[in-house]
């Protein structure tokens, strides 16, 4: 049986844009209480307003759902930098204060850069691991302590299809995503008997400001051109819909693009095929950038 989301609570990090923002809006439309976290408070305020609009549309007379007797979802925001232990602790204390029970956590904060393995600055690589891996780990630990205390919960982690294969100039980013995936896999086994669901989300390139920020952090314009040539990203709303389906029916992995999953499975099973495919992608992207 699918879970009823109305009245359940979810905490979302990285909620100021992209997948986090789209998921917040979709969860609000599903009747969930929200605690939205990110570093940029002004962006969070805009996302909260969009969530309120989604709730209003859901409760409008034109809606087919009779929600007149259901209280409106609570939509809360908190500034948080997941690189800082104190910020994460304060964020989860806010959840303790505001919600009787924290039903779900989406660890979504993260960033990337275009850089080859040979030229990436060590400080940049370390900073990416700090946010993507250790920031996620801070959120995981805070969430798990609450889930264990209350006897259940649902942890979701936005990873990437690149957890399975490393594209050129995405090697360090892919390494952080592979680390997240390994952490989630171990945690899934460790937490299974406690009634806690652990789900990983594996989108392909998604049309968000991730690419804008990656460009800003990349000093080599040729690397940007070669990395983005031929990109056909899908929308964050598509990923958000997949996440909401997973909240209703938890599963270990969510692949918004199933074809990608099958291709990557073949590459894992046949490494020479994977190496050939990556070289082919690199040639095509170089040709596209030069053209």
92 pLDDT more than 90: yes
Averaged pLDDT for residues 67-87: 88
Q: List the chain domain ranges.
A: 9-258
Q: How far is CA 264 from the centre of its chain?
A: 19
Predicted confidence band of residue 231 (pLDDT cuts 50, 70, 90): low
Q: Which residues contact 63 (CB under 8 A, 6 or more apart)?
A: 57
Task: Determine the distance from the C-alpha atom of residue 253 to the mean position of all C-alpha atoms in its chain, rounded to a whole number.
Answer: 12
The pLDDT assigned to 132 comes to 97
Q: Please state, in angstroms and rounded to a whole number, the distance separating the CA atoms of residues 39 and 112.
A: 16
Residue 41, classed as helix, strand or coil, is helix
Q: pLDDT, tens digit, for every residue of 128-161?
A: 999 999 999 999 999 999 999 999 999 999 999 9
Copy the structure tokens of residue 131: 């946010």
The predicted structure's pLDDT at residue 206: 58
DSSP string, 58-102: HTSTTSSS--TTSPPPPEEEEE--TT-HHHHHHHHHHHHHH-S--
- CA 166, 132, 40 angle in degrees (round to 5)? 130
CATH class of 9-258: alpha beta
Does residue 44 register a pLDDT over 90?
yes
Q: Average pLDDT for residues 56-69, to the nearest whole number? A: 63
Q: Which residues pair with 190 in a beta bridge?
A: none
pLDDT digits (tens, 9 = 90+) for 236-247: 999 999 999 999
Q: Within 10 A of 151 (CB to CB), how many other CB atoms are there?
A: 10
Distance of alpha carbon 224 from alpha carbon 188, whole angstroms: 36
For tokens 């939205």, what's the residue? 36
CB 204 within 8 A of CB 231: no
DSSP state of 164: T
Determine the Cα–Cα distance for residues 246 and 232; give it in Å rounded to an integer: 24
pLDDT of residue 157: 98
pLDDT, one tens digit per residue, over 152-190 is 999 999 999 999 888 888 899 999 999 999 999 999 999
């Amino acid at each position: 049986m699918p879970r009823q989301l109305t009245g359940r609570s979810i905490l979302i990090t990285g909620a100021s844009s992209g997948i986090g923002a789209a998921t917040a809006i979709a969860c609000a439309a599903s009747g969930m209480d929200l605690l939205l976290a990110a570093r940029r408070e002004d962006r969070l305020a805009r996302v909260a307003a969009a969530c309120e609009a989604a709730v209003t549309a859901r409760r409008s007379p034109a809606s087919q759902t009779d929600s007149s007797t259901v209280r409106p979802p609570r939509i809360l925001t908190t500034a948080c930098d997941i690189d800082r232990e104190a910020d994460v602790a304060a964020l989860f204390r806010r959840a303790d204060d505001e919600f009787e029970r924290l039903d779900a956590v989406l660890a979504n904060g993260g960033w990337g850069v275009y850089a080859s393995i040979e030229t990436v600055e060590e400080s940049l690589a370390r900073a990416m691991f700090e946010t993507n891996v250790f920031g996620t780990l801070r959120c995981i630990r805070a969430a798990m302590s609450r889930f264990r205390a209350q006897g259940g919960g649902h942890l979701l982690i936005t990873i990437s299809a690149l957890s399975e294969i490393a594209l050129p100039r995405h090697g360090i980013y892919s390494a952080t995503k592979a680390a997240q995936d390994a952490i989630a896999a171990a945690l899934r086994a460790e937490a299974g008997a406690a009634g806690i669901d652990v789900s990983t989300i594996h989108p392909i390139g998604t049309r968000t400001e991730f690419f804008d920020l990656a460009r800003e952090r990349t000093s080599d314009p040729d690397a940007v051109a070669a990395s983005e040539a031929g990109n056909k990203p899908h929308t964050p709303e598509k990923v958000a819909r997949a996440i909401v389906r997973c909240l209703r029916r938890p599963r270990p992995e969510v692949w918004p693009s199933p074809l990608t999953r099958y291709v990557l499975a073949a590459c894992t099973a046949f490494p020479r095929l994977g190496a050939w495919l990556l070289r082919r992608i690199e040639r095509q992207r170089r040709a596209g950038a030069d053209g």
